[in-house]
Amino acid sequence: MGPLGTCSAVSALPVDGAAAAAALLFPLSAIFPSVLRMLRSFRLPGSPPPPAGEKGPSGAIFVWGTSPRGAPGPPPASLALAPVSAPRRLPPAGPGEPGAASPAPPAALGPSSRVAPSPAACSMLRAVIQTALCPLHRSFRRVPGRQLQRIPSRTASRSSALLSCASWQPGIMAATALKPLIAVCQLTSTPDKEQNFASCSQLIREAAQRGACVVFLPEAFDFIGSDTQETLSLAESLEGAQIQRYASLARECRVWLSLGGFHERGEDWASTRRIYNCHLLLDPTGHVVATYRKTHLCDVDLEGRVSMKESNFTNPGPEIVLPVSTPAGKVGLAICYDLRFPEISLALTQEGAEILTYPSAFTVTTGSAHWEALLRARAIETQCYVVAAAQTGKNHERRTSYGHTMVVDPWGCVIAQCQEGPGLCYAEIDLGYLRRIRREMPVCTHRRADLYGRVTVLKKPPPP
């Protein structure tokens, strides 16, 4: 299994002559361990299903779900073999809630059901895989320096069709729908802007090679100064060299970039000598399609633990920016401390947001107490995907960041998370799953605006 939220099947390119023969057959061998796990778990019609939660081959967990129409039935192959680290299902609903159904075994096969393969055929295929292709697959994976490339996953319905014994349908592979893949970066920014750019560009290129369509960077991706004076001296305008370099990188890699917290010298820099904390969204042509300036500034004094006053050198942003359509969905922009204010996430959702972004630099004290709880709460109450790129580790002598970059789905499940240190995590955005949750539990339409009003984005905020 690869990083959380990524496809576990990978293809590789050889780096030496000894692996050349293996490389010829590797694209096939890469998929056969999954087929083998399916065959090992195959049960004949009428045999009892494995209990829910029972571990299957290679650590797979068998989970009985419900059909799209709500009728009990067996899970598709893609869910039956889904590892615990990437939950993609709704938990059992409570009494009276949409989708409430008791776990049930597969329905009996009817006259119109497809005929299952015979035990003899399964045994023969299993023997071929075990004796030939699986050893080849294992030996090739040990080749040093291999370059990994993502093999996109299929939707559940297509996976079931492809793995069934139905007759071959021309063009079915071309018709297979793919879900957009996003990549979320975890960084340890320092006062060294060149080093930070080198780290960011390396992660962005890696994410692009893996097939990500949007790459999210954390707050202060450009630098984290050791004091206020250094921070102000290193800040740039949006027309400066730093943003131009990221625009070139977006064009080179053909990806969308969420630059989640740039130290911006605004138009009022000459008069105020204060900066903005600016979240930019760049398209694959390098154009800036949205700029959101942080509206909630972090002025916190936890005695003996954390003390910061962002308002000493930063101007608050004047407005909320409407969600932007991207290949992954409609993205709503926010930054770090905004996470503690549900009003902004509700306002963005009212405007059609499907993905909420909170690029951050939480401290260890506040992160260990509140980080995951806040992210999951925003996802649950808005029924949006929540993407949170984060700073991690020691940024300078007087600051350490919490890390734990993560992606939360609309049901509140953490579907991707970075481990310690700089790196990437990946997640597929399933808008069909999002719409299903909103359809089965339409909390947005259940709000009592007649009792407590409605949170909306002010198109023209009043002057301060």
Residue 378 CA to residue 356 CA, distance in Å, equals 9
Catalytic residue, chosen from 200, 253, 298, 336, is 336
User: What distance in Å separates the CA atoms of residue 432 and residue 346, rounded to the nearest whole number?
Assistant: 20
SS (H, E, C) 43-85: CCCCCCCCCCCCECHHHCECCCCECCCCCECCCCHHHHCCCCC
Q: What is the CA radius of gyration of the chain?
A: 25
* Count helices and strands in the chain by DSSP H and E runs: 16, 18
Query: Is 219 annotated in the active site?
Result: yes
Dihedral (Cα; 155, 156, 159, 164), 10-degree rounding: -150
Which residue in the list 219, 236, 264, 428 is annotated as catalytic?
219
Q: Based on the residue annotation, tell me whether 381 is a catalytic residue of this protein.
A: no
Q: Which two tokens stand for residue 25?
A: 């057959």
d(CA 375, CA 361): 14
> Which one-letter amino acid corresponds to residue 99?
G
Strand positions, DSSP E, 353-398: 355-357, 385-388, 390-396
**What SS3 class is residue 424?**
strand
What is the residue type of 389?
A
Going by the DSSP 8-state scheme, the letter that residue 336 receives in this structure is: G
User: What is the total residue count of the chain?
Assistant: 464
Q: In terms of pTM, does the model score above 0.85?
A: no
Candidates 264, 294, 354, 418; catalytic one: 294
CA 108 vs CA 46, 74, 105, 135: distances in Å: 7, 10, 9, 37
Binning the chain into helix, strand and coil, the percentages to the nearest 5 are 35, 20, 45
Per-residue pLDDT of the chain (464 residues; tens, 9 = 90+): 444 443 333 333 334 444 444 444 444 444 544 554 454 444 444 444 444 443 333 333 333 333 333 333 333 333 333 333 344 444 444 444 444 444 444 444 444 444 445 555 555 555 555 555 545 544 444 444 443 444 343 333 333 333 223 333 333 333 346 899 999 999 999 999 999 999 999 999 999 999 999 999 999 999 999 999 999 999 999 999 999 999 999 999 999 999 999 999 999 999 999 999 999 999 999 999 999 999 999 988 888 788 788 999 999 999 999 999 999 999 999 999 999 999 999 999 999 999 999 999 999 999 999 999 999 999 999 999 999 999 999 999 889 999 999 999 999 999 999 988 999 999 999 999 999 999 999 999 999 999 999 888 887 666 65
Spatial neighbors of 378 by CB under 8 A, at least 6 apart, are: 339, 342, 345, 356, 358, 384, 386, 408
- Residue 32: which H helix or E strand, with range? helix 32-40
- Confirm whether 7 is a catalytic residue: no
